[in-house]
Amino acid sequence: MDTVLLSDSIIELEKAAEFIRDGEIVGIPTETVYGLGADASNEDAVRKVFEAKGRPADNPLIVHLADFSQAKDFTTSIPDIAYKLADRFCPGPLTMVLPKNDRIPMITSGGLDTVGIRVPSHPVMHRIIELSGRPIAAPSANTSGYPSPTSAEHVMRDMKGKIAAVVDGGCSEFGVESTVIAIEGENSVRILRPGCITAEMLKEVCSEVIIDHAILHELEAGQKAASPGMKYKHYSPKADIIMVEGELDNFISYVGSHYGDNVYSLIFDDDKEKFPYRYMTYGKNSSEQAHLIFQRLRELDDAGAHRVYVRAPETRGVGLAVYNRLIRAAGFEVIRI
């Protein structure tokens, strides 16, 4: 299949919407990462998404809507707290898991009776949803297991020949995927995947915000995942990623004693003056780290890195999202020095 690269002009967005209506798949920019969009109500289209990504069938897709008011068309009930959260955070990088109705096929929800609903703020994604008139199922547009794409070029690299088109909407603003939450009670939510809508921000609307154990810890054998995505190895470049927690001086001596060909470090911007070994940097605060992390993991592969020592980000605010992606990329290998 020829994969066409579309611009974000209105004529080309009409083309993208037509592909979606015709049951084809399109790579679409969002404010978090690029998504692999298909008509969420079309089983054949959704099947193609799972095939293109090589994604396990039990890992559900998020359904993207133009406005949260449409959520009632695809769910059986919406608690008040969901409306309060939507008032505050939609459109934006928040996904709410709600009980689904029959308009969302089982293949889309990975066999679950719930559906993740998200109202993206990116104008291109928003426009394509409106023009297509369909709910759009969209996982991140990477090959399953590989770092998520934050540019049209990343999507082309992973998906060329497998999907109908990619729309180029520039680099993704946030750089990590949406915060996924489940509603636990009248005023309580559980974070299943951290993102740029942070626990601290959710706390301004909900009295209780639970951070699911699996966000920072490996699931033990037989333990059930609150979100199927937590079961799988994720975000991994080809290189071995090793997260290292500790002061810069200790990090430098640790890397020094494990140094060799094709060994890289991923460090903070402020570290580079002092750092004597091969490195890339990933920003100077959590938002910059989120924006850069997936791009850097891909660049490290391009550079031929075999092993990468990463200075661990903090676990507060947006840092929790960055830490969560890195600890999974590292297969939970963390060294404390």
Render 177-242 in DSSP notation, one character per residue.
Answer: PPEEEEEEETTEEEEEE--SS-HHHHHTT-SEEEE-GGGTSPPPTTPPPSSGGGGS--S--SSEEE
Report the alpha-carbon distance of residue 14 to residue 12 in Å, rounded.
5
The residue number whose beta carbon is nearest to ligand TXA equals 229
Q: Is residue 150 at the binding interface for Mg ion, with CB under 5 A as the rule?
A: no
Residue 33's binding partner among Mg ion, ligand TXA, none (Cβ under 5 to 8 angstroms by kind) is: ligand TXA
Q: How far is the CB of 144 from Mg ion (least distance, A)?
A: 8
Which tokens sit at 305? 């890195």
Cα within 13 Å of Cα(16), Cβ side: 31
The residue whose Cβ lies closest to Mg ion is: 140
Q: Please name which of 116, 115, 108, 120 lies closest in space to residue 33, comparing C-alpha atoms.
A: 120
Q: Does 95 bind Mg ion (CB under 5 A)?
A: no
CB of 270 to ligand TXA, least distance (A): 29
**By rule CB under 5 A, what string of x and - marks binding of each residue 101-140 to Mg ion?**
---------------------------------------x
Cβ closest to ligand TXA, residue 180 vs residue 241: 180
Establish if 30 lies at the interface with Mg ion (CB under 5 A): no
Residue 330 touches which member of Mg ion, ligand TXA, none, C-beta under 5-8 Å by kind: none
Show contacts with Mg ion in window 175-204 (CB under 5 A): none
Cβ 51 to ligand TXA shortest distance, Å: 14
- Alpha-carbon distance values, 114 to 108, 141, 144, 178, 250 (Å): 10, 22, 22, 17, 46
Q: Which of 147, 337, 146 is nearest to 258 (CA)?
A: 337
Preceding amide of 29 cis, omega within 30: no
| 140 vs 198 by CB, closer to ligand TXA | 140
Residue identified by tokens 């298909």 is: 38
Contact residues: ligand TXA, CB under 6 A = 30, 32-33, 35, 59-62, 93, 95, 97, 109, 112, 114-116, 118, 120, 138-140, 177-178, 180, 192-193, 227-229
Number of helices (H), then strands (E), in the chain: 9, 16
227 binds Mg ion (CB under 5 A): no
R_g (Cα) of the chain, nearest Å: 20
Smallest separation (angstroms) from Mg ion to the CB of 68:
22
Minimum CB–partner distance for residue 195 and ligand TXA (Å): 7
| Nearer of residues 227 and 287 to ligand TXA, judged by Cβ | 227
The one of Mg ion, ligand TXA, none whose footprint includes residue 41, by CB under 5 to 8 A per kind, is: none
Q: Where are the alpha helices (DSSP H) in the chain?
A: 10-21, 43-53, 80-89, 123-132, 152-159, 199-203, 248-257, 286-302, 319-329
- Closest separation in Å from C-beta 11 to ligand TXA: 23
Binding site for Mg ion (CB under 5 A): 140
